[in-house]
Amino acid sequence: MLDKMKRILALASAVLLAGLYLITLILAFADPTASKDWLKASVVCTVVIPIFLYAYLLIYRYLKK
């Protein structure tokens, strides 16, 4: 069960990060003045999203026992 959940979360995070970069690219062309802000947000989310997912897995393991 845990392996299946890990795979689902890994796929979800990969799709989320890919979507984040795609949106950043589109918005950079739409509004070049705010492109630095969107890039900063993408970089922060690249670090924060996997940390939150890892923390979710740790909490799930702890509560499962």
Task: Locate 1 and state its tokens.
Answer: 């069960």
Prediction pTM value: 0.62
What's the pLDDT tens digit per position in 14-55?
Answer: 898 888 888 888 887 887 888 788 888 888 888 888 888 889
Residue 4 has pLDDT above 80, yes or no: yes
Q: Residue 31 phi/psi, 5° resolution? A: -140, 85
Residue 1's pLDDT band (cuts 50, 70, 90): low
